[in-house]
Structure 1
Amino acid sequence: MKKIINNPADVVTDALRGLAAAHPALLRVTRDPAVVAWAGSPVAGKVAVISGGGSGHEPLHTGFVGPGMLDAACPGAVFTSPTPDQVQAAAAQVDGGAGVLLLVKNYTGDVLNFETAAEFLDNTRTVLIDDDVAVQDSSFTAGRRGVGATVLVEKIAGAAAAAGADLDTCARLAEAVVAGARSMGLALTAPTVPHVGSPSFVLPEDEVEVGIGIHGEPGRRREPLTDASALVAALLEPILDDLPFVAGDEVLLFTNSMGGTPLLELYLAHGIAEELLAARGITVIRRLVGPYVTSLDMQGISLTLLRLDPALTDLWDAPVHTAALRWGM
């Protein structure tokens, strides 16, 4: 294992220290329990939007804290759910009196710990994110996993909250994004968790794992490594069939690096996906390309499609200022 770390047990704590140093005007970082909050929170009368999950997926979630997106994020240990006390501490820091929206990826630990925290909080709504079409069940989840759509939910719900929407409206919009988004990913290599020191699974040099999760979970199947056009089609076809997406739809296409895929390959894949969608009569009107939901050092990509309407498009376009995503400010 070659990584730029000190003690593997201190990776998350050390990274949070660096995050605080890099963004002192934007973020307020506490480490006992670990919470990353927007420095401008709480805002009186504004719905507080909170998410979180295991570390190792950066910039998700801590990189999306700031105006127009999350009010706070709760980072767990690597690939490990945050604890209920982290969620409670985050709510105590950012609740402006209009309620708290909890955005939770559908992994068993995340769901249980956010539910436990919600029992001790007033005026909360929880939205589960379950956009992964690769599996219906796994050892990590009860039902579909929450993956790439998480970024889109956080952005759109965060924009609604920033615009003054009430808690029910923010939750309804988050649920609309979940309902209209589908994702799938593939891996060329497995991630290496620092405290484990070896890859999560063994993948021969001439094979790819199709349908992987963001914690190094194995996928639907293994296939021989082939060209980019075939790989992108293998991801896009199940996504299109699942909702289904149809000719005339206007969509947001999110092409995501799993952490180890260079932008050269990512843009190549994105271009192929746009061509395939155009051939189906589906119009891409918004795009996001980059390493936004990663799995440590995994080489691979995921694709996410969100069916848009004017309201969701306006909220996507609304100003945002976070460490990892910013426009309009």
Structure 2
Amino acid sequence: MKQLINKVENIVEEQISGMALAHPELQYNAHPRYLIGPSSSEKVALISGGGSGHEPLHIGFIGQGMLTAACPGEIFTSPTPDQMYECAKAVNNQAGILFLIKNYTGDVLNFETAVELLHSDGIAVGSVLIDDDVAVKDSIYTAGRRGVAATVLVEKIVGAAAQRGYSLTQCEILARRVNNAARSFGVALSACTVPAAGKPSFILEDDIVEFGVGIHGEPGIERKAYTDLDSLIEQMFAEIKDCPEYTRILQQWDRETGQWLKNPVTIEPFVANEQYIVLVNGFGGTPESQLYGAYAKLTECCAQANFKIARQLVGNYCTALNMQGLSITLLKADAEILALWDDPVNTPALRWGC
């Protein structure tokens, strides 16, 4: 399949080099690979990362009011511990480092290693795991629920908090609260094409969708018959709205003891008469016009359920290369979360109030 690339082994290097040239406010370090933006010695440094192929996540969200830096791995491959470690040291300040980690096995293990190395260096560091996908509990990439598009919301809200001067502990608590209040669900109409493979990662018939797909094309709940957009959005919304109470294991780095703690946390169902931030997110191969059609139906679903849409975002923010499809994310939001969402942000891929 034709793609705008040169050699497969150079894809990430060339694309990130180009991004740094297009956005000279970003500083690109090639070995190990990371990008950092303008930083302040007075605020918590937020670092995220993961496999490339999900752009603009994460590298497009570096800047005022969001991430301090990001560590991109190869396509759909976790960054390595040395990337995270060296990146953190490059932006280290007295306010501390907070890693925001999507729940994928490779990402988790490598970020954990970086946390332990930084702690041994005497650097104040914390980490928060994002696992908002309610489609499946476990997958071929994860133990537990997958981290998907709510990552964008966490990075924006916690980034605003750091910009305001929240402490490392306050940013950690807020990030976990936002994650626990967010739920996502995705569907694919067709698969993405990983450049190294040169062909779609799976085949769907014209009248079939992968219902509950992951952002690497991982299987969902089932392959479901597709009839029309409105019916599909209704089915996706029902999965989010009707998801029952469940328990997740909170893994937290204890800076006092230098140990990982694991505690159960109860995630409560969504309820009516609450305010929600809504994200309709494209997977890279879906026209934005179709995403707006999906949002139109989603507003009807929310109104019928008495979910009050307080803020909305529609577009391609957490993609899967060229996969056709979309995800829906709902975040139950209180006054603090809404105020932080409204704060100015100035990054390559998200910008308002500046």
Q: TM-score band, normalised by the shorter chain?
A: over 0.9
> Residue 277 of structure 1 aligns to a residue in which SS?
helix
Q: Deviations over 1:142-178 (max 9, x none)?
A: 0000001000000111111111010000011100110
Does residue 1:273 correspond to 2:272, yes or no? no
Structure 2 unmatched runs, 5+: 244-267
> Residue 289 of structure 1 aligns to a residue in which SS?
strand
> Which runs of structure 2 are paired with 1:64-75 in the superposition (5 Å)?
64-75=61-72
| Residue 45 of structure 1, CA deviation | 2.4
| Counterpart selection for 1:88 from 59, 66, 85 | 85
> Residue 125 of structure 1 aligns to a residue in which SS?
strand
Cα RMSD, aligned residues only: 0.8
- CA distance in 1 between counterparts of 2:107 and 2:156 reads 20
- CA distance in 2 between counterparts of 1:200 and 1:277 reads 33
Does residue 1:99 correspond to 2:107, yes or no? no
| Residue 125 of structure 1, CA deviation | 0.9
Q: Deviations over 1:232-290 (max 9, x none)?
A: 01111111112422220100010000100001110000010011101111110100100
> Residue 120 of structure 1 aligns to a residue in which SS?
helix
Structure 1 unmatched runs, 5+: none
Q: Would the aligned equivalents of 1:201 and 1:218 in 2 still touch at CA under 8 Å?
A: no
Q: Which moved more, 1:11-20 or 1:201-210?
A: 201-210
2:269 partner letter: P
- CA distance in 2 between counterparts of 1:234 and 1:301 reads 13
| Residue 90 of structure 1, CA deviation | 1.1
- CA distance in 2 between counterparts of 1:247 and 1:156 reads 23
Does residue 1:188 correspond to 2:189, yes or no? yes
Q: What is the match of residue 259 of structure 2?
A: none
> Which runs of structure 2 are paired with 1:235-250 in the superposition (5 Å)?
235-242=236-243, 243-250=268-275
Q: Would the aligned equivalents of 1:127 and 1:171 in 2 still touch at CA under 8 Å?
A: yes
> Which runs of structure 2 are paired with 1:210-289 in the superposition (5 Å)?
210-242=211-243, 243-289=268-314
Q: Deviations over 1:85-140 (max 9, x none)?
A: 00011111212221100000000000000000011112111100000000000110
Q: Which moved more, 1:125-134 or 1:233-242?
A: 233-242
> Which runs of structure 2 are paired with 1:97-246 in the superposition (5 Å)?
97-121=94-118, 122-242=123-243, 243-246=268-271
Q: What is the match of residue 33 of structure 1?
A: 32
> Residue 279 of structure 2 aligns to a residue in which SS?
strand
> Which runs of structure 2 are paired with 1:304-315 in the superposition (5 Å)?
304-315=329-340
> Residue 113 of structure 1 aligns to a residue in which SS?
helix
TM-score normalised by length of structure 2: 0.91
> Residue 153 of structure 2 aligns to a residue in which SS?
helix
- CA distance in 2 between counterparts of 1:63 and 1:282 reads 30
1:70 partner letter: L
Q: What is the match of residue 18 of structure 1?
A: 18
Find runs of 4+ consecutive structure 1 residues off by over 6 angstroms: none
1:34 partner letter: R
> Residue 198 of structure 1 aligns to a residue in which SS?
coil
| Residue 194 of structure 1, CA deviation | 0.5
| Counterpart selection for 1:298 from 323, 331, 347 | 323
2:242 partner letter: D
TM-score normalised by length of structure 1: 0.98
> Residue 190 of structure 2 aligns to a residue in which SS?
coil
Q: What is the match of residue 328 of structure 1?
A: 353
Q: What is the match of residue 51 of structure 2?
A: 54
> Residue 5 of structure 2 aligns to a residue in which SS?
coil
| Residue 319 of structure 1, CA deviation | 0.7
> Residue 3 of structure 2 aligns to a residue in which SS?
coil
